Amino acid sequence: FKRLIVVLLLSNKLVVSCTSCNRDEYFLGYLTKLLQNHTAYACDGEHLSLHCPRHSTISVQSAFYGQDYHICSTQEPDTRMTEPINCVAPTSLQKVLDECQNLRSCQLLVNSRVFGPDLCPGTTKFLLVSFKCKPSK
């Protein structure tokens, strides 16, 4: 009884093909979650949750906490600020690493008190995290 599992990365999409497989959907789904990049975001005042499947942990690739122009804004489009302002918290990556790296799941409250200091008071901000799930040792 032979199984052939082929994993391809096509245009940033993970394609997993399995011939002569019957109950391997769980394994293939697990493998897919381990190999792909995950992105999660949350707006000020929300919680950001990161989660990896069993036998794997979070490996943070990047983190950005800063001003949002489209994702979280409740303002009308014509009243939003159009000039970019440098409102990026330099501590974003380290904070997410401290809270989430090598854990199976974590949850972060998104606000300037956590990621401060607030470089642009009164503006809407968000947290964007890119991570992978790496196999546990």
Residue 16 token pair? 């997993």
Higher pLDDT, 49 or 125: 49
Report pLDDT for 14. Answer: 47
Residue 91 maps to a domain: yes
Residue 69 maps to a domain: yes
Query: Mean of the per-residue pLDDT values for the chain?
Result: 78
Query: Poorest-confidence range of 23-32, 50-59, 61-70?
Result: 23-32
Q: How many domains does the chain have?
A: 1
Residue 2 maps to a domain: no
Residue 71 maps to a domain: yes
Report pLDDT for 23. Answer: 55
Residue 41 maps to a domain: yes
Q: How far is it, in rounded angstroms, from Cα 37 to Cα 92?
A: 19
Distance of CA 111 to the CA centre of its chain: 17
Mean pLDDT in residue range 18-32: 61
Residue 25 maps to a domain: no
Which domain, by its residues, includes 129?
37-76+87-136
Encode the chain in three state secondary structure.
CCCEEEEEEECCEEEEEEECCCCCHHHHHHHHHHHCCEEEEEECCCEEEEECCCCEEEEEEEEEEEECCCCCCCCCHHHCCCCCCCCECCCHHHHHHHHHCCCCEEEEECCHHHHCCCCCCCCCEEEEEEEEEEECC
Residue 94 maps to a domain: yes
Report pLDDT for 124. Answer: 85
Contact between 62 and 41 (Cβ < 8 Å): no
Output the domain CATH number for residue 57: 2.60.120.740
Residue 1 maps to a domain: no
Reported confidence tier of residue 58, pLDDT bands at 50, 70, 90: very high
Mean pLDDT in residue range 93-100: 96
